[in-house]
Amino acid sequence: MGAMAVERELEVSIDQDACTGDGLCVQYAPDVFEFDIDGLAYVKDTEGELLTTAGSQVRVPERLRLDIVNAAHDCPGECIYVRDLASKEPVAGPGADD
Ligand code: SF4
């Protein structure tokens, strides 16, 4: 029980320069990932607003942790970066040791 209580908060961003536009992330977590009119995926904030500045970061909602981590693992462009919110250490996606 104690171990779960100290689960780290995560943040996620996309490197649009490497995004292939396949939409896998949008299927995994439509509450966080969405296409802009340029056909590339971007992240949404907690109000559901799409952040169309390239590389924008948002906090990962607790209930979507697994979906976001899975999206980062499977992203064909290898361009979804999941990091520890506090330390910025890579947790999934490029730079993470998995
Ligand atoms: S899964 Fe990766 S490459 Fe595919 S649309 Fe999402 S961010 Fe882009």
Question: Which tens digit of pLDDT belongs to each residue from 32-87?
Answer: 999 999 999 999 998 999 999 999 999 999 999 999 999 999 999 999 999 999 99
Q: How many CB atoms lie within 10 A of CB 68?
A: 27
| Residue 64 belongs to some domain of the structure | yes
Q: What is the pLDDT of residue 68?
A: 98
Which residues lie with the beta carbon below 6 Å from any ligand 1 atom? 14, 19-25, 41, 75-77, 79-80
Instruction: Name the pLDDT band for 1 (thresholds 50, 70, 90).
Output: very low
For residue 6, what pLDDT is reported?
A: 62
Q: Within a 13 Å sphere around the CA of 86, how many CA atoms are in the beta-carbon half?
A: 4
Q: Which are the contacts of 73, defined by CB distance < 8 A and separation ≥ 6?
A: 92, 93, 98
CATH code for position 33:
3.30.70.20
Three-state DSSP class for residue 47? coil
72 in any annotated domain: yes
Has residue 3 been placed in a domain? no
- Has residue 81 been placed in a domain? yes
Question: How many domains does the chain fold into?
Answer: 1
Is residue 98 a part of any domain in this protein? Answer: no
- CA 46 to centroid of ligand 1, rounded, Å: 20
Distance from the CA of 30 to the center of ligand 1, in angstroms? 12
Q: How far apart are CA 23 and CA 6, in angstroms?
A: 32
Domain extent at residue 62: 8-92
Q: State how far the alpha carbon of 96 is from the alpha carbons of 17, 37, 42, 59, 61, in Å.
A: 19, 30, 21, 18, 20
